Structure 1
Amino acid sequence: MRSFELSLFADYFQFYIQDEPASGDLSAAWTEEATDRMLAIAPGTVGIGTVRNMDVPVVVQLLGREPDDDCADWDHVVEASLDVASGRIVIAGCTDYFPDAMRIETAPGTYRVRASYGALDTLSENGLEGDDHYRLQLWPAAAIPVRVLKQRSVSAS
């Protein structure tokens, strides 16, 4: 397993992971359904929704196989597929300067992305501070439609 710890600026309440040359545009992908599941997809790109638009901690793990199910430890868990034809994955905030974004070299192919979201209910009243954190686990796997493994509970405001 290779693991990377990042702090990403989640401007517009999102960050993304993509195949380096992908031109998938997430702007139209954030439908009501995508917003509810906190994950949007476009060709070669997966957008990860966040609960605040500040710097957020993100762990990215590249695995050789599907990880054990630890959904009970997280507030929300979603899976999608990511085609990585180039063998270079980019992880960035949506307004980051693309050439400076983190890159991870990997074997070309189709990967499953499991996005796990933690401590989503720890936001300060103004929404700027919190202990929310995000984990992306990637492993080689056949393409699947997006699926929610655990839906977060949203309290009424």
Structure 2
Amino acid sequence: MMKHYSIFADYHQFYLWDHEANPDVPTSYTEEDTIRRIKAAPFVVVVQPERNMNVSVEVEITGEAPELALDAWDHVAEASLDLPSGRLEIYECTGESIDILTVPAGTYRVRTYHSGLGTLSDDGLDGDDHYRIVLWPAPFTDLAVLKQYVDPRVVS
């Protein structure tokens, strides 16, 4: 199953969560959380796009882990998500529910792909960034960054 969305990523975030679990969204962030561009808590994964505007997001649900092809992407990270109700909800940070997808109940791996991160305007409002999210059934595993983006405009 593959779906395409335009999601308002206010505060540089939107959520994937179990529709019936009413999860507490994480509110405290470390610098490391921001750099990872993903954060997880019980029953919720926070995806952190580069812009806090409408962003293009593709969501795919598969039966197994996708091939790990990193070259086309600026940043790739993974986290686990428990979906005991079998109802995956995509939700805007300060907006509303975008969609509720029915999946087999269980634990999923969520891989987020970020592309076009270097295309943002100086004010961060415009750009060609886009995001792909793939979920598949998998045992719970710690959050992992598979490819780290480093903004060349930021001097460390």
- TM-score interval, normalised by the smaller of the two chains: over 0.9
TM-score, with structure 2 as normaliser: 0.94
Cα-to-partner distance string for 1:24-76 (whole Å, 9 max, x where unaligned): 22212x22211110011111000011111100000000001000111111000
Amino acid in the other structure paired with 2:34 = T
CA distance in 2, matches of 1:7, 1:26: 23
- Within the candidate set 83, 99, 102, 1:102 is matched to 99
Counterpart position of 1:143:
140
Runs of 4+ in 1 over 3 A off after TM superposition: none
Counterpart position of 2:57:
58
TM-score, with structure 1 as normaliser: 0.94
Give the secondary-structure state (helix, strand or coil) at the position aligned to 1:35: helix
CA distance in 2, matches of 1:90, 1:64: 18
Following superposition of structure 1 onto structure 2, how do residues 1-157 of structure 1 map, counting pairs within 5 Å? 2-22=1-21, 23-28=23-28, 30-98=29-97, 101-155=98-152, 156=154
How many residue pairs are counted as aligned between the two chains?
153
Q: CA RMSD in A?
A: 1.1
Give the secondary-structure state (helix, strand or coil) at the position aligned to 1:121: helix
Cα-to-partner distance string for 1:96-117 (whole Å, 9 max, x where unaligned): 224xx31000000000000000
How much does 1:138 deviate? 0.2
CA distance in 2, matches of 1:4, 1:137: 11
